[in-house]
Structure 1
Amino acid sequence: MKEIKHGAPQIPSPLRVFITFESTGWFDTSKEQKEKEILPQLNKILEEWKENGSELLGTFDRDIFTAGHAGPNHWHACFLYNIPDLQTVTNMTHSIREAGLDRYIRLEASIGRPFFLLEK
């Protein structure tokens, strides 16, 4: 069997970023607010993220077997990106705050790396 070495993790470039998305104040809004205010603003931000040098690798929405508040997982959906640098990550999370959407949505970014046994 081939020896597998597992040294200290190396910070990848681009950064591998896992962003969790939680609906918070969303549940205290009307259908009209969601459709006419919140979702259009969120969609605009997500479209802008396509222009910042990031590469969306995948998304995962837990809504098939869940409804309502996020529960102990503390997220409803997640996004996996390759992002060029820390400032871009900060700009992405700040865009939610700047638009006032942090009243309805919580984002959290985690920096990681590709799993060494599956991605070389």
Structure 2
Amino acid sequence: MRIAVYGTLRKGKPLHGYLRESKFLGEDRIEGYDLYVDVLPYAVKGNGELKVEVYTVDEETFERINRIEVNAGYIPVDVNTKFGRAILWEWVHEPGGEKIESRDFDDVEFKGW
């Protein structure tokens, strides 16, 4: 199973440890999403190209991450990547905070929780 991550699960970010045993496939840009940050990053439907990292994960890793994301208010959606279909966790509520024009979480100074 593939997942596409754009925020705190990316390399060098606080939750990346959940992916330590997963296979990194590479980076991509997903059309149709904007990125907002208000402590946490939010991918919402929009007009941009969201920068993501794509991983192959086992079922246990997927279930652990999915539980965290869904409990935080995100929903899993299928997206197309250059590596094939992947799950991305989308924010379907009104986003708060700042819109990140680059749509790349690396351009945000993460201040933590």
Shorter-chain TM-score bucket reads 0.3 to 0.5
Which structure has the higher relative contact order (CA within 8 Å, separation 6+)? Answer: 1
Structure with higher helix content = 1
Q: Which has the larger radius of gyration?
A: 1
TM-score (norm 2): 0.37
TM-score (norm 1): 0.36
Structure with higher strand content = 2
